[in-house]
A and B are shown apart, each in its own frame.
Chain A
Amino acid sequence: MAERTARIASASGLHARPAKIFVEAVTATGVPVTIAVPGGPELNAASILSLMGLGAGHGTEVVLRTEGDDADRVLDELVTLLETDLDAA
């Protein structure tokens, strides 16, 4: 089990456009990844509806978890994405 904490950089939070880009990236990893706000339930990170339901605004901390041989590389990639302002892209 690998785990990383990331801070949402997109100006308006993890809403439709940044959420869509993130879901595409999670889906592309081919492994199950969960996302949670501290103390909250672990949700499927490949679900745009779950991400939107997190209500994670700009600056919110989220915890990503996954398993497998490649877990560290996968999470590093996803953290980089979350810490990029996808609204500005």
Chain B
Amino acid sequence: MSEVPGSVDAAQPPTTITGVGVSPGRVIGPVRRMAEPVAAPAESEQRDPGRSADDEKARLAGAVDSVVAELGRRAEHAAPDAAAVLSTTAMMAADPTLTAQAGTLIDDGASAERAIWQAAGAIASQLEELGGYMAERVTDVLDVRSRTVAELRGLPAPGVPDSDTPYVLVAVDLAPADTATLRPDLVLALVTSDGGPQSHTAIIARAAGLPAVVAARGADALVDGTEVAVDGGTGTITAPPSEADRAGVVRWQQQQLAQQSFTGDATLSDGTPVELLANVGGGADATAAAEAGAAGVGLFRTEFSFLGSDHEPSVDEQYAQYRPVFDAFAGRKVVVRTLDAGADKPLPFVTDTDEPNPALGVRGFRTTLSSPEVLVHQLEAIARAAADSEAHVRVMAPMISTPAEAERFATVCREAGLETAGVMVEVPSAALSAPAILRRVDFLSIGTNDLTQYTMAADRQLGALSGLNDPWQHAVLRLVAETARAGAERPESVGGPAPVGVCGEAAADPALAVVLLGLGVTSLSMTARALPRVATVLRTVSADDCRRLAALALDSEDAEAARAAVRAELPVLEELGL
């Protein structure tokens, strides 16, 4: 079927699917669905009585050959690092031990699907027990297993679709591993039927500047090849696109060009300066953020230098990771968050993967209970890199719950020669204890993603809870207000007013950014791509407007009402398609 741009199929009335817009932008393109995860073959699944064990083994061998060939084909077109991973994965698919064990199960009567599923599962558990690096390879073994079973069943391989032309990716939800293999030059937009505003899909989409809609229930009905219009601002998907959608895409592209003129000059309409900072994960990010006009770094996530490692990196290795970030912001502020391992970011050398409830477990600063030396080494590396650079380096600890923890952190920072120490406010207890915490440390930074998750007791990855997991919720805004007030009202006897920033995804929502400033937050740190649009909206409001809109938001009992009340007062959002 050929697509004629602008054509309207009279037989097909336009349908609109609504979800939650998590990354603004308007595009039109064909749907490519992410293949469904492969379902486990039943434990009792026997081979077809018409086939001998040898026939069944030949069937399995044929499927393995196809999987190996497909992985080899992808390796040929991949970058060297990815190609090495793909060819190792291909070697696992054709592994003689794996096929021998599956063969034994086939001899006992199992189907090829069940045999490979069970044999690979047993090997995966053994590797998992070894822990560390080997445990991380479990994903590869399970991926090989899914591919082989999909091949045996004649289904498409699971994962991101192979395509040479741009498409709108539609999935149930995306795992971090899926998002890592996305080609930004081919993916026009992300649409998921599950997932919330703070899911990995949302975070990756915002960082990559890809329009995205999550929790779009009806998206499961979209079929491959259907042309759709995606609006990541309003959270709608329309098929087929209307003339208005096409005009909207053109308008969005023009505005993107106009906004590129942002030079880091961030002020409100009354001239009040605003500190707009960037969230970065490493040197490349930092360089891009400096070019995008960030006044500094409000959150340097150091765990990206640790992930994928089965042992603690040396002080020299860490120094080499930190130095480029500091150098990109010579003369400006860089806030380094110390290692935030645990929960969705397990690290074999500091965290225990067997916790029944990792989000409430030993994560962030709490890992110093069992491995205090990791923080000491990290602070040493930060202090050395800071001394050799021109950046104004500060450090802050994640997952602080009590003033005593804040004091312990401040003490180790001083011992490492780092003068300015702060903590993150992600746990409601920290927000409520902010005045006492600020007697021990120099600043606070509110992590709205976790603060929302813990305040509302709603897992940030669960699409079903996306309504609860919303930083516009009344209780979350109250805690932000309390924390900001503690900073503004810190007594002169302990240093006077202290900065209180926000470094969660909430700061990248232009309407919420206005509210946060009105609540008394002193800096906003966000993915660098959001800086121009947040700055553009902030230029249209005065400090008084911010306070008035913050009061409006606080007066609303639920997230939807708060968002609607504030957006109604900010017509600029509609004009910009945000």
The residues of A with any CB-CB pair to B shorter than 8 Å are: 12-13, 15-17, 20, 23, 43-44, 46-50, 52-53, 55
Q: Which of A16, A17, A47, A52 contacts B96 (CB 8 A)?
A: A47
Measured between C-beta atoms, what is the minimum distance from B522 to chain A in Å? 45
* Residue pair B91, A23 in contact (C-beta under 8 Å): yes
Q: How far is the CA of A13 from the CA of B137 in the complex (A)?
A: 14
A residues less than 8 Å from B88 (CB atoms): 16-17, 20, 48
Measured between C-beta atoms, what is the minimum distance from A10 to chain B in Å? 12
* Residue pair A15, B133 in contact (C-beta under 8 Å): yes
Given contacts A12-B133, A15-B134, contact A49 B310 (CB under 8 A): no
Chain B interface size range: 10 to 19
The residues of B with any CB-CB pair to A shorter than 8 Å are: 84, 87-88, 91-92, 95-98, 100, 123, 126-127, 130, 133-134, 137, 141, 310
Q: What are 8 A-B contacts defined by CB distance under 8 Å? A: A15-B133, A15-B137, A16-B133, A44-B97, A47-B95, A49-B97, A49-B123, A50-B95
Q: How far is the CA of A46 from the CA of B134 in the complex (A)?
A: 18
Besides A43-B97, A44-B96, A46-B96, 5 other CB < 8 A contacts?
A20-B84, A20-B88, A47-B95, A50-B95, A55-B134
Measured between C-beta atoms, what is the minimum distance from B311 to chain A in Å? 8
B residues less than 8 Å from A43 (CB atoms): 97
Q: How far is the CA of A49 from the CA of B130 in the complex (A)?
A: 13
* Residue pair B134, A20 in contact (C-beta under 8 Å): no
Q: How far is the CA of A60 from the CA of B133 in the complex (A)?
A: 16
B residues less than 8 Å from A48 (CB atoms): 88, 91-92, 95
When C-beta atoms are compared, the residue in chain B nearest to A20 turns out to be: B88
* Residue pair A20, B87 in contact (C-beta under 8 Å): yes
Q: How far is the CA of A25 from the CA of B123 in the complex (A)?
A: 23
Measured between C-beta atoms, what is the minimum distance from A18 to chain B in Å? 11
Given contacts A15-B133, A15-B134, contact A53 B91 (CB under 8 A): no
Q: How far is the CA of A16 from the CA of B133 in the complex (A)?
A: 9
Measured between C-beta atoms, what is the minimum distance from A43 to chain B in Å? 7
* Residue pair B127, A52 in contact (C-beta under 8 Å): yes
* Residue pair B98, A47 in contact (C-beta under 8 Å): yes
* Residue pair A50, B134 in contact (C-beta under 8 Å): no
